[in-house]
A and B are shown apart, each in its own frame.
Chain A
Amino acid sequence: MEYVLQTRALGKRYGSLCALKDLTMHVPKGAIYGFVGKNGAGKTTLIRVVCGLQKPSAGEYTLYGERNSSRGIHKARRRVGAVVETPSVYLDMTAKDNLKEQYRILGLPSFEDIPQLLDLVGLSDTGKKKAKHFSLGMRQRLGIAMALAGDPDLLVLDEPANGLDPQGIVEIRELLLKLNRERQITVLISSHILDELSRLATHYGFIDRGHMVREISAEELESVCRKCTCVEVTDIKALARVLDAMGMEYQILSGQTADIYAKVPITKLALALWEEGCELVSIQEREESLESYYINLVGGGRR
């Protein structure tokens, strides 16, 4: 698999505070990588380090194959657009002037694309209104437009749903999906809104206290989280025979319990097991969401 961003044992300290510790992550090309963690887990610190705003205290990262210590890292960064924490926009300028400024920074020869970019983020009708008079959601969109200037290959967004109304969240989600599908832009996105993230992400990284707890693809997560019926029986081999005969997908968990990934006709199952000389001890439906998966992974309580 080709990775656009990889970190290896990355660490970042602020004095005695350890913000990142031994963090290893892999962002595959073309993915929407959801970066999940509590407040203070180190999400923004990692994004700052990757964007070159801060230097790591330990470890290293590679961006498009360029190590952070190599001279080529600056060239690799030109393929990145980012919104780190708050949108980086000049409050005393209009949306159009802000984009012109960003185009100059990037060295783009023409401002022709600016109307399309403003249209893409829904700010085409802001006219001469200065960014300081924008709502938080509008600033967030302008920040995304600035990040999209110059057609980046990797878009890094830190909590992009902050300050957006429900309609705005849906629009940003659709925009990101469109950019990912149509322009093959890889997206690294940190968010607290797990339900929202679960509608977008193709890969997840769970971070806790500066350390990557687990990286998992959306497919793997789905299989872990899928709805299932957990049954407890006296003879697990009899259960396997019955489920095979009924053509059901299942996973044996122990000598007495198994998860069945299908709607279970309870009476039919109980009768079939009885005929095999096996007793059905208990049965319960179980469904795990991204949220419960995350809570189980990092622990629910605040530490």
Chain B
Amino acid sequence: MSRLLAADFSRLWKSRDFWTCAAFMASFGAFMVLMGYYFMCRTGGKYSADLVCFGYAKLMGIAAAFFISLFWGTEYSDGTIRNKLVAGHERYKVYLSGLVVNIAGVMMINAIYVAAVFLLGVPLLGLPGTSFLPFAAQNGLLTVVMDLSFAACFTMHSMLRQNKASVTAVSIIAALILLLASGYIRSSLHEPKVYEPYAYTTDKGYVITREEEPNPNYLEEGSVKRRVFEFLDELLPSGQALKIEEDEVTKEQAGRLVLYSCLVVLVSAGGGIAGFQRKDIK
């Protein structure tokens, strides 16, 4: 498999799709820092680079979908995947090599965002505080496993379909749907149990008060729906991304997120390899 890895990494280094994605994420990182700087100048408040350090998380699904579907779609559109199979490489090795390179590519895109944030952020916003390191270590680890999940899912999709255009479109739409679904799940989980009582005065001077009201959208503690939503929130890589970005992962949750990511990787890689073994390549 070392031969395949050498060939795939060499192609990654020359891939325009990879560098386009990396440039986009670096620009996004720079934009986030500049926004922070603008906020600091305007309000006089304190801001530091670590506040936007994990701002990539929300976009990583879309970036991974774009990069992997185009990078691997080229193998099918140019027909070059045939060269690997005709040369006698076993299919599972071709798949695994692709998965490894895709994971590396997604992580490098991540790292390029972080590098852009610090290269621009430290001079403009100053060094992060001392509490940053443990926070960065945990979120860094969670980012790695989130990248693994995204890469495994989109690699499976790219390997099992041979039409580059449709793979790219479907992957990006799927990433968006995942993000929207996780956003909906999170907002549902954060619904308050009751609407707080409040009072307001009308134009004619009447004071209207509203009593505390139960929220019909609240998911009861221990209900099946809440447990399913909590599970999906932690299982889906898009849910993990939102958690990382909002820095609300407890240590107890972090273990579960790692476990769920490993599960997603194993299921998608296993399913992908099984499907790729049987696939008729044109």
Contact = CB atoms under 8 A, between A and B. Distances in A.
A166 interface: no
B212 interface: no
A65 to B, nearest CB: 15
Contact of A87 (B6, B11, B79, B278): B79
Given A54-B281, A55-B278, A74-B88, A101 B7 contact: yes
Chain B interface extent, by class? 20 to 34
Interface in A77-98: 77-78, 80-82, 84-93, 97
Contact of A88 (B2, B7, B80, B280): B80
A48 B82 CA distance: 9
B159 to A, nearest CB: 14
B153 to A, nearest CB: 25
Contacts of B85: 51-53
Contact of B86 (A52, A97, A107): A52
Contact of A86 (B4, B79, B89): B79
A88 B79 CA distance: 5
A297 interface: no
Most A-side CB within 10 Å, residue of B2, B78, B280: B78
A51 B280 contact: no
A281 B88 CA distance: 63
B86 A90 contact: no
Nearest to A108: B3
Interface string A87-125: 111111100010011101111000000000000000000
A90 B10 contact: no
A147 B231 CA distance: 50
A54 B7 contact: no
A75 interface: yes
B88 A53 contact: no
Interface residues of A, number: 36
B82 A77 contact: no
A106 B7 CA distance: 9
B224 interface: no
Given A53-B280, A55-B278, A90-B74, A74 B79 contact: no
Interface in B180-198: none
Interface string B64-88: 0000000000100011111111111
Contact of A74 (B80, B83, B90): B90
A88 B81 CA distance: 8
A76 interface: yes
A87 B86 CA distance: 13
A194 interface: no
Interface of B: 2-4, 6-7, 10-11, 14, 16, 74, 78-90, 278, 280-282
